[in-house]
A and B are shown apart, each in its own frame.
Chain A
Amino acid sequence: MPLDTRRLTGPESSQSPYNFAPVNKLDLTQLDKRPDGRSIKKLRPLFLRTNVVSQARGSSYIEMNETKVICAVYGPREVLRREDFSLKGQLTCDFKFTTFSCRQRRQYQQDSQEKDLSVLVLEALEPAVCLHKYPKSQINIFITVLQHDGSALSAAITCASVALASAGIEMYDLVVASSAAICGSVTLIDPTAQEEDALLKATVKPDNNAGSVTVAFLPSLSQVSAISSDGELSFEILNKSMQECVANCQKLYPVLEHTLVKHQQELEAGRS
């Protein structure tokens, strides 16, 4: 491109001003109280609602303080392409962060992290859905993270399972997910974005543990439907935090049940 000398040309690439802003560092090794006032073992309060997208077959909205996720379920509908025919139903999942959901602006197109998360959500939900009841059909799940303040994956899985249930899709069980961040000997339950970030940038000694784990659990079958971990962790610590996450999923289960009961009551009230 020829250079236009009459115009004041800006730099070719630009950076976020946040890169130059001082970050308030979080010392993960000395945490008796977290920035939001929770204790290290405490979950954030969960707000769940169904029927937020009127056009969708089923939908739900989840809020864990500043993490806000909306999910819509469409289908079961006919598989369009003939070569995709199968006797088992197909589940698809589209996970998307809105461009404004994170500290840094995200791209409109789905990036590799979002693709990875889509697959993880799908794998968490697949064991719970009775796909053999939906031959030749597909069920589409669309997840949008409106605001990301940590544990977006677990929020998305929980939200999507409620949306599936509210859509009347036959399922073996609900899926509840929970996550934990680990730094040294400290395990932070339900980490916020600030805590997750601090962990990523933590300059931990080589033999120290630093990472995070997310577990998706089927509470009434007592089965783990998905597990994913990041960072460097020892076997014992990973095992221990997994058990903790499972226990937390059990704790959250009544909230999901309550939401679905309310959803059903609203449906029946609407009918009569």
Chain B
Amino acid sequence: MGDAGLSEAEKTFILHSVQDDFREDGRGNEDFRHMELETSLISNTNGSARVRLANTDVLVGVKVQLTPVDPERPEVGRLEFFIDCSANATPAFEGRGGEELGSEISAMLTRAYAFPGAVDFHSLCVLPGQQCWLLYVDVLLLECGGNLFDAVSIAVKAALFNLKIPNVTMTKDEGGVELDLSDDPFDFKRLDVSGAPIIITVNKIGHYHVVDASEKEEECSLARLMLGVTEKGTITAMRKEGSGSLDPNSISDMMEVNTRFLCLPGI
């Protein structure tokens, strides 16, 4: 992040615009850009969504698969995140270039979804102690225009909302239990995502707190605070990013800015 190649004068311009609460594209410091959200785009997935936030474009596909349960947690299903940083977005992602960013985003998502209330993990378990659903959440970054974490998290939540999990019938045999997947495309269940978190990033630019920063603005900020927040107002993951440090009071302020955005992208 932050390779727009700004000159000192351009940085000062952005700094001043943030000071005046009137940013480059006419927004205030606490305004989001317009968001376009589409679901059910890709027929081969069980759930998909695409989010476009000005220049940021993210596509998410969810595929489900039956797997043996995790022996440590035999009663719940699992979620797995994978972020593909396509070289279409930035030449810097070519080869293994995007790997670091990808693993950072997936680590943040994994942590934000790690609490028991995120989705109904118990409903993802088909046969307790034996088989459960494993949701592969694959994210493709098509275009990077700043605020990737937020866009990805919104797209992930939308894709999970769109998810259709085929119903399974179980028949008891001599040799054990036999699982039968329903092949009727209308015989499915949905996943309750009302508890699922989204990530809100607050950037510190100068002494001001800015949400939904563009790529240029991200280059001007030395530190940002990323929070996974739920509709209820709870915080499910927090992380500071960037090379700067923050005052403890300023962290509290930034957290407050965060929680103000809770009801915003209610899908």
Contact A242 B241 (CB under 8 A): no
Looking at the assembled complex, report how far the CB atom of A96 sits from the nearest CB atom of chain B, in whole angstroms: 16
Q: What does DSSP make chain A's interface, helix, strand, loop or mixed?
A: mixed
Contact A231 B245 (CB under 8 A): no
Whether A22 is near chain B, meaning CB under 8 Å from some CB there, is no
Q: Which of A218, A224, A246 has the most CB of B within 10 A?
A: A224
A221 is contacted by which of B111, B241, B245, B251 (Cβ under 8 Å)? B245
CB-CB nearest in chain A for B107: A116
Stretch with Cβ within 8 A of B (4 or more), from A38-46, A142-150, A187-195, A205-213: A205-213
Given contacts A115-B103, A127-B244, A210-B115, contact A227 B239 (CB under 8 A): yes
CB-CB nearest in chain A for B70: A19
Contact A229 B238 (CB under 8 A): yes
Whether B175 is near chain A, meaning CB under 8 Å from some CB there, is no
Whether A222 is near chain B, meaning CB under 8 Å from some CB there, is yes
A-B interface contact total, Cβ < 8 Å: 105
Interface size class of B (residues with CB under 8 A): 35 or more
Given contacts A232-B234, A238-B255, contact A206 B195 (CB under 8 A): yes
A: number of interface residues (CB 8 Å): 42
Contact B111 A230 (CB under 8 A): yes
Complex formed: what's the CA distance from A243 to B232 in Å?
Answer: 23
B247 is contacted by which of A211, A223, A234, A238 (Cβ under 8 Å)? A223
Contact A224 B247 (CB under 8 A): yes
Given contacts A112-B106, A226-B240, contact A242 B233 (CB under 8 A): no
The interface of chain A, by Cβ under 8 A from chain B, is: 15-16, 19, 112, 115-116, 119-120, 123, 126-128, 131, 203-204, 206-207, 209-211, 213, 218, 221-235, 238-239, 242-243, 246
18 example contacts (A-B, Cβ-Cβ < 8 A) are as follows A116-B107, A123-B240, A127-B243, A203-B116, A204-B116, A206-B117, A210-B115, A223-B246, A224-B240, A229-B239, A230-B114, A230-B115, A232-B235, A233-B235, A233-B236, A235-B255, A238-B238, A242-B251
